[in-house]
């Protein structure tokens, strides 16, 4: 019998700096809840809205796998490895912070907000050489399908990470259902609904709800309405 952990959208932590609104599924910054530290290797799931022209100045990271998924608008990125890039919806950005990097990220538009998911995974190797990657996703492939965007394998689809983790984006039409078989039954699955609503593990998930699912080797996901969601299979061992 699968075990589940439900995180309703309105139970998330909130940081409001005026130019930034960040909705945090797990503890981050000053948001502290001992019941919401992490889900296995998944440590951060921030749902961020950055005002036009604003952003995060130069700041460091180390020993973390950082994945950004733009939802609206564009983010301008600069880092200490010499990378300068803009990421937009339909693209995925990934950084292995490893021994340490500095980066800055700003809303690339002056007049409209940038919305994106920022996801941090504990790495399964510490102190690796820092690394940046950015990919453009094949359009339409997420329609009634789980489109792989992250894996641990360099040769596989999507970006690769130093962690036993597989991420998928999906756009399911109302009523569409699909089974998902885990790569490893000791892993967990975390489903985060971006838009619409889905049902899985006997739980209805609405916009921005999250559900952790444990102790199963497969699950079924059905769209209750047209739905966009992120499925993350992660190691439960840090």
Partner 1 sequence: MENTSILVIGTHPEILQTVLRLINNNPLWKATGTTSPEEAKDIFLKNSFDLVLIGAGIDKDTDEALRTFFRQNNDKIAIAQHYGGGSGLLYTEIAQAIHQK
- What are the residues binding partner 1 (CB under 8 A)? 27-30, 32, 34, 37, 43-44, 59-64, 97-100, 102, 120, 122, 126-127
62 or 133: CB nearest partner 1:
62
30 or 202: CB nearest partner 1:
30
39 or 120: CB nearest partner 1:
120
Least distance from partner 1 to the Cβ atom of residue 120, Å: 7
Q: Is position 183 annotated in a ligand binding site? A: no
Eight-class DSSP state of 11: G
Least distance from partner 1 to the Cβ atom of residue 32, Å: 6
Q: Which residues partner with 115 through β-bridges?
A: 49, 72
Q: Is position 59 annotated in a ligand binding site? A: yes
CA distances from residue 53 to 57, 58, 132, 134, 151 in whole angstroms, order as listed: 12, 15, 23, 22, 32
Which tokens in the block code for residue 152?
């641990």
Q: Contact 191/213 with Cβ under 8 angstroms?
A: yes
Least distance from partner 1 to the Cβ atom of residue 69, Å: 17
How far apart CA 118 and CA 121 sit, in angstroms, is: 10
How far apart CA 34 and CA 90 sit, in angstroms, is: 34
Q: Is position 105 annotated in a ligand binding site? A: yes
122 or 180: CB nearest partner 1:
122
Binding residues: 59, 61, 103, 105
């Amino acid at each position: 019998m699968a075990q589940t952990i439900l995180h309703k959208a309105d139970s998330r932590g909130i940081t409001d700096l005026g130019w930034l609104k960040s909705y945090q599924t797990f503890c981050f910054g000053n948001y502290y809840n001992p019941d919401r530290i992490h889900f296995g290797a998944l440590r951060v799931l921030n749902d961020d809205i950055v005002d036009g022209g604003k952003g995060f100045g130069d700041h460091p990271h180390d020993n973390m796998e950082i994945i950004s998924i733009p939802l609206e608008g564009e983010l301008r990125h600069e880092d200490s490895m010499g990378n300068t890039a803009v990421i937009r919806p339909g693209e995925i950005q990934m950084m292995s912070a490893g021994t340490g990097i500095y980066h800055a990220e700003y809303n690339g538009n002056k007049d409209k907000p940038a919305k994106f998911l920022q996801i941090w995974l504990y790495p399964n190797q510490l102190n690796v050489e820092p690394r940046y990657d950015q990919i453009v996703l094949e359009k339409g492939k997420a329609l009634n399908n789980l489109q792989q965007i992250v894996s641990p394998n360099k040769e596989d689809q999507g970006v690769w990470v130093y962690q036993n983790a597989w991420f998928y984006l999906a756009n399911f039409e109302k009523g569409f259902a699909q089974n998902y078989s885990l790569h490893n039954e000791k892993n967990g699955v975390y489903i985060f609904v971006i838009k619409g609503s889905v049902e899985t593990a006997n739980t209805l998930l609405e916009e921005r709800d999250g559900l952790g699912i444990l102790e199963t080797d497969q699950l079924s996901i059905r769209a209750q309405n047209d739905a966009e969601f992120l499925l993350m299979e992660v190691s439960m061992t840090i």
